Structure 1
Amino acid sequence: MDQLAEQLQSVSKNNARDLVYLQTSKGIYETEEDMWFKGYVLDAQDFTPSDRSKTMFVQLIEDKRDTIVWEKKYEIENGFVNGHLFLKNDLPEGTYTLAAYSLHSFTKEAKEFYALKKIKIVKTISQKTDVTPVEKDSILHFSTFAEGGKLVSGIQSRLAFKAVNSKGLPVDTAGALFENNILLQTFKSSHAGMGALTFTPDADKKYHIELSEPKLVSDKKYDIATIESSGKILNLLANAREYLLFKISQSEGSKPEKVFLRLQLRGVVYSIATGMLKKELTIKIPLKEVPQGIAEVTLFNENALPIAERLVFVKQDQKLNIQTKLNKSEFITRDKANLKIKVTDENGQAVVAHLGLSVYDAIYQNKQDAKNIQSHYLLSTQLKGNIYNPAYYFDEKNKDRKEALDLVLLTQGWRNYVWNENNLKEKSLISPVVFDEIKGKVQLVKPDKKAADSTPKAMILFAADENREQELMMTDAAGFFTIGSKNLKIGEGGYTYMKLMTPEKPKYQISIKDNSFEVINNERKNKTIIYPFPEIEKINPKEISPFIGRESINKLKEVVITSKKKGQVFRDKYIGKLDSLYRIQSPTVDFFCPLTNYLNCPRCKDGCHSSDRLKPVEGGVYINTSRYVWIVQCHSYLNDDRNEVVYHYPNLTEAELLAFFNMTMLEGYYGKKVFYEAVYDEVTSMDSTPDYRNTLFWKSDIITDEKGEAVVDFFCSDINSLFIGNLEGVSGTGLLGTENFEFRVRKKQK
């Protein structure tokens, strides 16, 4: 028994990693809006907030052309990211993917990628319901799956089946099982093209299935799983809150044998039972210490060889129970809403939880998105392959959700469990793609073995904002140094500047390059994107829009801001400061003769005057001698055009300016932005300025108190519509939960 536990947990120890989930403020956005999002970085085994990674790399990708339209770094604080990005006006309409990567969640070995959120971007929201009809498909994939992995002759067995079209979407089916071409029993799918039937197979007989629905395949015959002449099978009898009950059976005439039944969940072995199997053996596995999720139950023979396996979802009702209570069920425009939140566990005990809340106009809900925090962590990230509408199995309104989820696991197969022992062995070594730290080196501009020394070099790290702290950094003896999350935070919302504190001669320079996103783009092309298949919408296209009397918004087509100041424009104000310092120091080889006012006079350069040559002044007027033809004396020329010019110092690029001052810069974490919350009182509520906020409230860091409670207030806008509230979150012990509420806003009667 120790051996069975150790052989699994030894490989799972090498897979310490994180799973990332993204919650957005809504599902559909218009261009020129802010997209607010919350990143959850949770331990892959126990779903507790993880502090392994410090930096989250975020991209917004246009799906149609696979084009990156946004990529920035965000700080991970105790397992969470509070982020936002701006959607530019020139973004084309369509589906976009918000993707997130971190040190311990994005590795080379992982073949699948889960940390993403699909959103829709439009120019202007439409009142019409966007319904995409399901295309008829002449291709049907029909498969059968024996419980435990195989059918054994003479032992009653359960056979699950699944039907999907060429796009992987479910197809409702009905048909019959034939034994030697004689009808044995009829069946039909019970959920999303899946179902199961029970019969006693006979290895000496032939079986096939014929489908009566859908009609397009009614003339086809489908073989069933292979029937073994002898062996053992594993059958789940009961899945209760406190225990699992299994029956193990073996063929008639088989010798009694000691067997082992192991239950593991996310790489941790929680139970190993043993017993003597004669013909049948019933084993009850307690679930008191087992957390919620997909468990793999494996049957081993006396030689510790696996002979049957089964996936089971345990404690489906264990979650964060989030209760919400609004002070009203209906509000008028600009009304104040008060929301009380109460969070408990399945036993009714108060829970301290970290929640994200968004309240928005229901027309911006993306009904095609079937992902939430529960389905993401408990189902989608635990199985290989895309799952159809996984949120269905965590919605208590669906009375058949437990039976339906069991069919999902029966038809997925235990080999698709990401924590299966063989799958873990494939990932025994973890090779990160991105890192929290950036490596750099201080070295001579012109390498010289004689001039080089092994003394550590000093640098000052600072931001353009003079009110922020500065930091002194030292290299090692070879000149190497490391930029970490603490250093990137210095330049949050802008850049972290690094100035080298070394003598002018010999001249050293800072060599550093951050190619994180380049590496990400190369690696993500090798991953299979795992995202739930959306529920097939059954919406009447003539359905009335949920909102009433939306006012039209007149937008200015274009606003152009111009500057009277001419010259270079830098992306950071500190670069502009460096440019001013550069010009004050007059770093130029140009000169003028004070006697003649000639600029760069070739005769003066040869020393024909005793007067010293002077540096030109920015904005000064001089005589340009570049077109003159000289004869003998300094004052003789064949061109009588004085050719006066206004002198300007050469314009240096940002890179040249930084090199001039022996500096470099790195983009820091993307800056935090405060969500705008309108506040109305007796005076401001009468303000005639229209308020068209479609997202009334967003807060990514609501933390309940020791009583499991939290209270938030927000004000309605001038939009009279149906509004939706979405709450998602996690506790410190890894409990997950989600809750939705809705209310109406009516126009104030005059």
Structure 2
Amino acid sequence: MKFLHLFLLSWILILPIGAQNNSVVTDQLAEQIHSVSKNNAADLVYLQTNKSIYETEEDLWFKGYVLDAQSFIPSNRSKTLFVQLVEDASDKVVWQKKYEIENGFVNGHLFLESTLIEGNYTLSAYSSYSFTKEPREFYALKKIKVVQTINQNPTVVSVEKDSIIHFTSFPEGGQLVSGINSNLAFKAVNSKGLPVTVSGTLFENTTPLIHFKSSHAGMGLLTFTPDNSKKYHIQLSEPTSDKIYAIAPVASSGKVLRLLSNTKEILTFKITQSDGLKEERVYLRLQIRGIVYSIATGLLKKELTIKIPLKEVPQGIAEVTLFNENALPIAERLVYVNQEQQLTIQTELDKSSYTTREKAKLKIKVTDQNGHPIVAHLGLSIYDGIYQNKQDVKNIQTHYLLSTQLKGNIYNPVYYFNEQNKNRNQALDLLMLTQGWRSYVWNEANLKELGTAFKPIILEEIKGKVRLQNPDKKVTTVIKEKGITVFSADESKGSDFMLTDTTGVFTIIPNDLKKGEGGYTYIKLMTPPKPKYTMNIKEFSFETIDNKRITKTLLYPLAEIEKSNTKVVSPFIGRESINKLKEVTIISKKKGILFRDKYIGKLDSLYKAQNPTADFLCHENILNCELHQGCPGDRKRPIEGEKYTTCDGCKWLKGSGPCGGCFICGHCNEITYHYPKLTETQLLEMFNIAMIEGYYGKKVFYEAMYDEVTITDSTPDYRNTLFWKPDIITDTNGEANIEFYCSDINSLFLGNIESVSGEGLLGFDNFEFRVKKDR
């Protein structure tokens, strides 16, 4: 097993191999977390959109990343992604469709109707292995803003000051022990969860001991040696407050775990125990996302330094737990490791600025932390910067490496991944210290609460059942196996034949939904006309999602607090009003006839050809002549769209009848004949067919191309998204080359790239350029 190999590396580094029972303890410590994590195999979903602000009557393009929750490798567990767009103000679902997951990725889009109300919306995604009854937290969402017309000068609303302060302190390792020098981290937030810059004093009894102030996002650290014979409290001087904040109680004796250093190669810990405690063997376990990567052991007298190698440990939050000789946890701490272990994305444009409609060339190169080229799956969007919501601080790295790993909303997580922030490592360690290990999703106790087995609540497969339409209630009905054909309106996709089980139950699988992509999948029951059998098919997936999502806590990163209410202005003025094209709906030329796809039209034609109605024409070409109703003579079928005569008050003349001779009619009209209009439901029932909605159809993103002739075309080009491609794959040199054409919009354009490799490395990068009118 992987953790055993790493255990030996740690052990050899610290001390010679000990007694055999030490190995038994280490195996036990590794297996106890492995056993509770292996049965909870899950996926994590992330949504990348082409921008974050949209106008109505636009396409929203998105890419879904469905990655294994432990390794971040693209997952093949789920085949269907259920997507909803929810209006935040009303919690109303305004869009929901199913999309195909292909090798861990989804290429999707949706149309934003003109009827959408301006405001904030949430795009949410669910799969069988990512949306479960537990946990209560839900992360797979993307916040977007919808407006009728984009405002060039959006005002940034400053955050109102909040006088309510929540101040909490966190001893490193979990406890303060008398006589042992210890770290005490703290965090201050307001009632909205936003950080508050604070300063204050730690008092020992009534004597000021240490003055302190927060160093990042309301967090900070102070170091002192506590004495359990004395009392400690904290009082804040900024913001001014008379409130007294107690700190954790000081234990009279015990053990303290401290992190001394965190480098690319090694974590160094110091373990200290109180005077008078017996010498004993201790164990230090490091696990990331439910996988144990190292267990080190040593003999603790007064102090012990333990070093854990990080060579084969992935980037992310590590939970480090100290166990005593009886394998009981006595101290615990979160540490963020291998922050440099990521995809490095380099972008190179052939110019820094372009003229309208000019061709641009972009070179992308992806490497690992050692500079080696990487084959990676990229999503790239290039769009007008005015459609960027600067309050959205979520990307693929913050989502997978922080947000989905910790319970609670994280303030401005992008700060910790920006190499320009020189103190980001220290700030990230403060985040780890002030979360508490029970906030770690992969904490052993949290995993145990999830249960011993993973249980999906939304199913990709759809169940159906065949039954007799009019069963004899006095006799037990035996359905036996029945034949079913599965197909779509696209005959090129072929059809599949299946048999029900002996009770009439059958299953529609994701591959059947793919057959009906962009339309409907049809299921035809292959049984004789008599006795009459019917099918019951009902999808519960979105119904289940709606019932469960209201019980979930939606977690989304908190945006950085704006310093002022300054206005954000697009760098170039003169944006013309844009005439947007309406979404096109195709209807039949024949008034009032609208079909969802050509197969329903085929059923309607077949119904008319069979002429199941009692309508007829007599030899005088009168429609449904009342005098010839029961006559077996020459009768013709009426034809759709032809003109016929209808008469009433008809009677036979003397010496005529009952089926021949002369007659007269009181009142006659000429009409255009139409067959009775049947609904889709009636047509399907008539032919013993059921239909279910297939995967939402794919759509190709429009890319403009200009040459010497078309570049002078007077038709305006107001594309605000110049390029969107969710499925770029770099070559063996880690490279990809992109070409696109600028539009007529005179503005600052932004490029966003998000990526994942086959080994689970993540990357994010952005770039910008300007487009000017050619004067």
What interval of TM-score do these two structures reach, taking the shorter chain for normalisation?
Answer: over 0.9
Opposite residue 239 of structure 1, the aligned amino acid is N
Q: Quick one: distance in 1 between partners of 2:487 and 2:278?
A: 76
TM-score by length of 2: 0.91
| Residues in 2 aligned to 1:222 and 1:564: alpha-carbon distance in whole angstroms | 76
User: Are 2:739 and 1:716 equivalent residues in the alignment?
Assistant: no
Q: CA deviation at 1:330?
A: 1.1
- How far 1:453 moved relative to its partner? 5.7
Corresponding residue for residue 316 of structure 1 = 339
Residue number in structure 1 paired with 2:550: 525
Structure 1 position 430, deviation (Å)? 2.1
For residues 642 and 552 of structure 1, do their structure 2 counterparts lie closer, same or farther at Cα, with a shift above 3 Å needed?
Answer: closer
Deviation at 1:210, TM superposition (A): 1.0
CA distance in 2, matches of 1:130, 1:362: 15
1:650 Cα deviation (Å)? 1.9
Distance in 2 (alpha carbons) for counterparts of 1:626 and 1:375: 82
Indicate conservation of the 8 Å contact 1:598/1:625, yes or no.
no
Of 665, 673, 682, the match for 1:656? 682
Would you say 1:327 and 2:350 are equivalent positions? yes
Match of 2:598 among 570, 573, 586: 573
Query: Quick one: which of 670, 674, 685 aligns to 2:700?
Result: 674
The alignment status of 1:694 with 2:720, answered yes or no, reads yes
CA displacement at 1:286 relative to structure 2: 0.9
The AA in structure 1 aligned to 2:431 is V
8 Å contact 2:156–2:567 — kept in the other structure? no
Q: Deviations over 1:458-498 (max 9, x none)?
A: 22222212333222233233322211111111111111112
Please give the residue correspondences for 1:376-525 in structure 2 after superposition, counting only pairs within 5 Å.
376-428=399-451, 429-448=453-472, 455-525=480-550
C-alpha contact (below 8 Å) 1:383/1:418 kept by paired residues:
yes
Matched, 1:725 2:747: no
Q: Secondary structure at the match of 1:253?
A: coil
Does residue 222 of structure 1 match 2:237? Answer: no
Contact 1:588/1:615, CA 8 A, preserved across alignment? no
2:559 corresponds to: 534
Return closer, same or farther for 1:509/1:255 CA change in 2, 3 Å cut-off. Answer: same
Distance 1:63 1:537 in 2: 23
C-alpha spacing 1:512/1:337, structure 2 compared with 1 (3 Å): same
Please say if residues 645 and 668 of structure 2, whose CA atoms lie closer than 8 Å, have aligned partners that are also in contact: no
For 1:361 and 1:447, the matched residues in 2 are separated by 64
Counterpart-to-counterpart distance in 2, 1:208 and 1:584: 89
Q: 1:348 aligns with which of 368, 371, 392?
A: 371
Among 93, 111, 123, the residue aligned to 2:136: 111
Aligned AA (1:723): F
For 2:212 and 2:522, the matched residues in 1 are separated by 70
Q: Indicate the residue corresponding to 2:397 in structure 1.
A: 374
Give the stretch that moved more between structures: 561-570 or 420-429.
561-570
Once residues 122 and 214 of structure 1 are traced to their aligned partners in structure 2, the CA distance between those partners, rounded to angstroms, is 38
d(CA) in 2 for partners of 1:172, 1:639? 97
Q: Determine the structure 2 residue equivalent to 1:357.
A: 380
- 1:64 paired residue number: 89
CA distance in 2: counterparts of 1:570 and 1:506, whole angstroms: 30
Q: Which residue of 2 aligns with 1:42?
A: 67
Give unmatched runs, 5+ long, in structure 1.
Answer: none
8 Å Cα contact 2:650/2:663 also seen in 1: no
Contact 1:722 1:745 in 2 (8 A): yes
- Give the counterpart letter for 2:434 in structure 1: T
Of 555, 565, 574, the residue aligned with 1:549 is 574
User: Aligned to 2:738, what secondary structure does the other structure show?
Assistant: strand
- Contact map agreement 2:158 2:565 (CA 8 A) in 1: no
The correspondence for 1:152, drawn from 158, 177, 192, is 177
User: Within 2, Cα distance between the matches of 1:241 and 1:339?
Assistant: 32
**Count of paired positions:** 743
C-alpha contact 2:219 2:430 (8 A) present in aligned 1: yes
Q: 1:232 to 1:498 in 2, by over 3 A?
A: same
Shift in Å, 1:214? 1.5
Separation in 1 of the partners of 2:485 and 2:550? 38
8 Å contact 2:587–2:594 — kept in the other structure?
no
Q: Aligned match of 2:232 in 207, 218, 231?
A: 207
In 1, distance between residues paired with 2:465 and 2:362? 53
How far apart are the structure 1 equivalents of 2:561 and 2:606? Answer: 63
Give distance in 2, aligned partners of 1:27 and 1:313. 29
The C-alpha deviation readout for 1:163-214, integer Å capped at 9, x for no partner, is 1111111111111111111111111111111111001111111111111111
Kindly indicate whether the alpha-carbon contact (under 8 Å) linking 1:109 and 1:431 is maintained by their aligned counterparts in 2: no
Counterpart amino acid of 1:286? P
- What is the letter of the counterpart of residue 728 of structure 2? I
Give me the identity figure in percent: 67
Deviates more, 1:410-419 or 1:591-600: 591-600
Match of 2:8 in 1: none
Which stretch of the first structure deviates more once superposed, 472-481 or 336-345? 472-481
| Partners of 1:109 and 1:430 within 8 A in 2 | no
**99-108 or 510-519: bigger deviation:** 510-519
Q: Shift of residue 404 of structure 1?
A: 0.6
Q: Deviations over 1:198-250 (max 9, x none)?
A: 011111111111111113xx221111112111111111111111111111111
Deviation for aligned residue 1:581: 1.6
- The aligned counterpart of 1:124 is 149
Cα 1:615/1:554, change in 2 over 3 Å? closer
Q: Note if contact 2:57-2:583 (Cα within 8 Å) is conserved in structure 1.
A: no
Matches within 5 A, 1:198-347: 198-215=223-240, 218-347=241-370
Q: Tell me, what secondary structure is at the counterpart of 1:707? A: coil
C-alpha distance in 1 between matches for 2:54 and 2:89: 17
Which amino acid in the other structure matches residue 733 of structure 2? K
Matched to 1:659, the amino acid is E
C-alpha spacing 1:162/1:544, structure 2 compared with 1 (3 Å) = same
CA contact (8 A) 2:57 2:582 kept: no
Change (3 A) 1:502 1:283: same
What residue number does 1:18 align with?
43
The answer as to 2:111 corresponding to 1:102 is: no
The farther-off stretch of 485-494 and 644-653 is 644-653
Moved more, 456-465 or 229-238: 456-465
Mapped pair 1:143 → 2:168: yes
8 Å CA contact 2:648–2:665 kept in 1: the answer is no
Residue 708 to residue 610, structure 1, CA distance change in 2 (3 Å): closer
Q: What per-residue deviation string (whole Å, max 9, x for no partner) do you get for residues 428-474 of structure 1?
A: 23221212211112232222597966653222222212333222233
More off after superposition, 440-449 vs 637-646:
637-646
Tell me, in whole angstroms, the C-alpha distance in 1 between the residues paired with 2:100 and 2:143: 22
Q: Deviation of residue 610 (structure 1)?
A: 6.1
Structure 1 residues 711, 539: closer, same or farther in 2, change over 3 A?
farther
String of CA shifts for 1:644-681, please: whole Å, max 9, x gaps: 76543321110110111111111111111111111111
- C-alpha spacing 1:688/1:168, structure 2 compared with 1 (3 Å): same
8 Å CA contact retained: 1:187, 1:197: yes
- Do the aligned partners of residues 58 and 416 (structure 1) sit closer, same or farther apart at CA in structure 2, a change above 3 Å counting? same
Distance 1:570 1:556 in 2: 23
Partner of 2:654: none
Inter-CA distance 113–239: structure 2 relative to 1 (3 Å threshold): same
C-alpha distance 625-510 of structure 1, shift in aligned 2 (>3 A): farther
CA–CA separation in structure 2 for the residues paired with 1:124 and 1:66: 23
Q: Give the gaps of 5 or more residues in structure 2.
A: 1-25, 652-656
Letter in 1 for 2:369: E
Cα distance, 1:209–1:487 mapped onto 2, change above 3 Å: same
Aligned Cα RMSD in Å? 2.6
Letter in 1 for 2:188: A
Q: Does the CA contact (< 8 Å) of 2:484 and 2:523 recur in 1?
A: yes
SS in 2 for 1:581: helix
